[in-house]
Chains A and B, each alone.
Chain A
Amino acid sequence: MNELINEINGLLRSKTDKGVAAIFDDEHALLRAAQKAYDSGYRKFETLSPFPIHGMDDAMGLKRSPVPWFTFIFGTIGLAFGLFVQWWMSAVSWPINVGGKPMFSLPAFIPVIFELTVLFAALSSVAGMLWLCNLPKVDPPIIHPDITSHKFCLFIPVNDHGYDEAKAKEMMKSLGAKEILMAEL
């Protein structure tokens, strides 16, 4: 029992990296900073913002999110499941004659097939998103409480390629950071 609790605890606690964080006042400064950090050779750095910023994925060199694959694969499974279940229940397990319609009445089965396709696709996309984001997490370290409200943050972890604390801080200062601090993410 204790092992199980530890196991769950381990899954929900975030594994954090130490690093240096810079706080900015607006999203344009953060976008420039991210571009600069990428150009300086950093690859594991992260940006934090209260809302998604256009162009940030390119600035950070991120590839397209794989979430749509979850939608497609599980949507297809939902479709097949809906078709199979209705065929098996209506034509195999206990066939009942309803108004002389065929046991396998495909047109009448389409609404339920559609609903199950949407249901599987939607729930699996959300589950896939949470899995890709490593969520949910208990008590993640918060660099600055205003980052979810009106501040923007660039975080460079110590284990990033060619990390040099003095250089990183210098770069952040030159980009107009309002505040530079050592933090955990």
Chain B
Amino acid sequence: MINRDVLVGGNKTYKDISDDICSIVETVPTKGWFMYFLPAKMGLLFYVGVIAMIIGYGMGLMGVNHPVGWGTDIVTFVFWVGIGHAGTLISAVLFLFRQKWRTGINRTAEAMTIFAVMTAGIFPLIHTGRPWLAYWLIPYPNQRGPLWVNFRSPLLWDVFAVSTYLTVSLVFWYIGMVPDIATVRDRAKNKIRKLAYGVLSLGWRGTNRNWQHYESVYIILAGLSTPLVLSVHSIVSFDFAVSALPGWHTTIFPPYFVAGAIFSGFAMVVTLMVLIRNAFPVMKDYVTLNHMEVMNKIIMTTGMLVGYAYASEFFIAWYSGVEYEQYAFINRMFGPYWWAYWIMVTCNVIIPQIFWSKKMRRSIPVMFVVSIFVNIGMWFERFVITVTSLHRDYLPANWGMFNFTFYDFGVIIGSFGMFFTLFLLFIRVLPMVAMSEVKPVLDVGRGDKHERAH
């Protein structure tokens, strides 16, 4: 029989797990945490300023214009929604496949999903130019007729997909956290902490009659989240695919977008886990090198899926015999935006190949750098899809360039500030490892070693 490695290092007991995880919430934040929080918070304040300027003065501050009407906002929206997908993949899909290693990282990955989708949700609102009318996206009985939304439009499907995704992910995350919040409540010596976590824990006590329903709802939410997460990025890709623009009008988009989303999301999980392991050394027992290695394998696999999608798009452009389609793709590679295309290919297809080597897969500095490159590459993938397709289409009147402004850079940088601020606050106030899921898998790998000794 193959011996399994332990999932949790350091020969922990149940009590050690509670102590390790809860102490992060119960003590004054470490220097490491502040070192991340201060720049993140500055980024958030900067973001608020940038958005205030864009809303106050108008969309003219950003680079979008004729013919490139979808710019940084849409690119970065797709980028952040994609990031979120890895969290659901870890929490729901790996749960259904009984992958026990997920327990060490699923809470943080789910938190990443929620904050990434929240960050993403702001971009379409900025993009509308008049975010104070955003409630028009909701079909509510109104005094204008009533005039309803257009249910035949992918943009409207997106409203439903992203808001359902955020709601269901939030509920899944919170329900998963209730037993752990109860642990923090029962350990609390301080009155305010006891009250706050008491309210959040909903009065959970861990009776088996409750666990029974809890486990049932947990697997149902996992089962519902799995098709949901696939539908979300498929529908995001419909925003492009349900159009007649060369470079957008392709049937490969839904699986291609989902693979890309998992790719970028796992890269973000690796980035965050490296930072967390650095700021909280105790986490090295829960997020072990084995966890990181498995995620790096997923990054390499999905990176090659994405690379296959790039190649397949070119093949179909040639095979279709449509000259506009062929031009769109040649233009991507060698046109004025050649640099964006080659950044994308280098970061997404070539750089992750380093993970064929086991030594590289298990090296923290290497995976940190690669994960950042992957995220840069995935931002450029969305840029290439959106901007290079729009900047030259059928008519010469629709040929032009997209000009970045300070505000385009501002919203990208600022959105990272928002994301990291939310994430760091989460680490500070809520248990960042699912204790009630780690404890049952504590024995994995321990008995195996024992038997080998006989």
Spell out A's residues near B (CB within 8 Å). 14, 34, 46-54, 56-57, 60, 62, 64-65, 67-68, 71, 85-86, 89-90, 93-94, 96, 98-99, 101, 105, 108-109, 111-112, 114-116, 118-119, 121-123, 125-126, 128-130, 132-133, 135-140, 142, 145-150, 185
Contact = CB atoms under 8 A, between A and B. Distances in A.
B198 interface: yes
Interface of B: 13-15, 17-18, 139, 145-154, 156-157, 160-161, 164, 167-168, 171-172, 175, 179, 182-183, 185-187, 198, 202-217, 220-221, 224-225, 227-228, 231, 235, 238, 435-437, 439-440
Contact of B15 (A119, A123, A150): A150
Given A49-B211, A51-B179, A112-B157, 6 more contacts: A51-B435, A52-B436, A56-B208, A111-B161, A129-B175, A142-B205
B213 A148 contact: no
Contacts of B216: 64-65, 67-68, 129
Contact of A112 (B151, B185, B203): B151
B148 A146 contact: no
A126 B218 CA distance: 9
Contacts of A129: 175, 213-214, 216-217
A50 B228 contact: no
Contact of A133 (B15, B160, B213): B213
A115 B208 contact: no
30 contacts: A47-B207, A47-B208, A50-B439, A51-B179, A51-B435, A51-B436, A51-B437, A52-B211, A53-B440, A56-B208, A57-B208, A62-B209, A62-B212, A67-B213, A86-B151, A89-B149, A94-B147, A108-B151, A112-B151, A118-B164, A118-B224, A123-B167, A129-B213, A136-B202, A136-B203, A138-B203, A146-B15, A146-B186, A149-B186, A185-B205
A150 B168 contact: no
Contacts of A68: 216, 220
A137 B440 CA distance: 26
Nearest to B172: A122
Given A112-B157, A122-B221, A148-B186, A101 B152 contact: yes
B182 A111 contact: no
Contacts of A149: 14-15, 18, 183, 186-187
B171 A133 contact: no
Most chain B CB within a 10 A radius of its CB, from A14, A99, A150 = A150
A147 B209 CA distance: 15
A50 B148 contact: no
Most chain A CB within a 10 A radius of its CB, from B15, B148, B156, B436 = B148
Contacts of B17: 150
Contact of B231 (A54, A111, A145): A111
The 4 closest A-B pairs by CB, nearest first: A137-B203, A150-B14, A136-B202, A65-B216
Contacts of A98: 150, 152-153
A101 B151 CA distance: 11
B215 to A, nearest CB: 5
A148 B205 contact: yes
Contacts of B224: 71, 118, 121-122, 125
A108 B153 CA distance: 8
Contacts of B150: 96, 98
A123 B172 CA distance: 10
B147 A65 contact: no
Nearest to A140: B203
A111 B187 contact: no
Contacts of A62: 208-209, 212
A65 B212 contact: yes
Contacts of B215: 52, 65
A146 B183 CA distance: 8
A115 B161 contact: yes
B8 to A, nearest CB: 13
A119 B168 contact: yes
A149 B435 CA distance: 9
Contacts of B161: 111, 115
Contacts of A132: 213
A131 B209 CA distance: 12
Contacts of A67: 213, 216-217, 220
Contacts of A136: 202-203
Most chain B CB within a 10 A radius of its CB, from A65, A86, A128 = A65
